Amino acid sequence: MIKQNNLTANSSDAYGALASGLCLIHCLATPFIFLTQTSIKRCSHVGPFWWRIIDFLFLGIAFLAIYKSSKTTQVKWMPTAMYACFLILSFLVFNEKIGWIPLPCAMVYLPAVSLIILHLYNIRFCNCRVA
C-alpha cells in the first residue's frame, strides 16, 4: 500500500467540506434573501431559477467529493457515514422541491454539517492512500 501525505490526497475532502459549507451558507441565506425581495412578487415564494438550481450543483459536487474520498480513506466506516449523510441530504433537498412529506426546512442543516465534519475528520485522520 502506497501512502500519500500531500495536499492532493486530501483535496477531495477539502472540496467536499467547502461544498458542504457553501451549501449550508446557501441554505441559511435563502430565507433572508427572500425576505428582502418581498416586493418582487415572482421571487417571493420560489425564488429565481438560478438560485434554486444551486442546490443540485452542491449535491453533484458533494457526490463527487464523497466518491473520491471513499476511494482514498483508510477509515473503514467513513464511506458509509458519508454516503448515508449524502442520501439524507439528497432526500431532504428533493423533498423540499417536490413536497413529498411536510418536514421542517431546517432539517437539511444536520446532514450538511455532518458532511463538513466527516470531511474535516477525514482530512485530519485518514492516512490517505492512492486510489
In a domain, 94, yes or no: yes
In a domain, 40, yes or no: yes
CB under 8 Å to 100, separation ≥6 — which residues? 94
| 75-81: average pLDDT | 92
In a domain, 61, yes or no: yes
0.85 surpassed by pTM: no
Q: What is the pLDDT of residue 113?
A: 86
What does the DSSP 8-state code read for residue 117?
Answer: H
**67-84 burial: b if 16+ Cβ within 10 Å, else e:** bbbbebbebeebbebbee
The percent of residues in the chain predicted with pLDDT above 90, rounded, is: 17
Q: How many domains does the chain have?
A: 1
Give the residue numbers spanning the domain of 45.
Answer: 7-125
Would the pLDDT of 87 be above 60? yes
In a domain, 41, yes or no: yes
Bigger pLDDT: 112 or 81? 81
- In order of 3, 24, 66, 119, the CA distances from 129 in angstroms are 5, 29, 15, 15
Q: How far apart are CA 126 and CA 64, in angstroms?
A: 18
In a domain, 118, yes or no: yes
CB under 8 Å to 77, separation ≥6 — which residues? none
In a domain, 1, yes or no: no
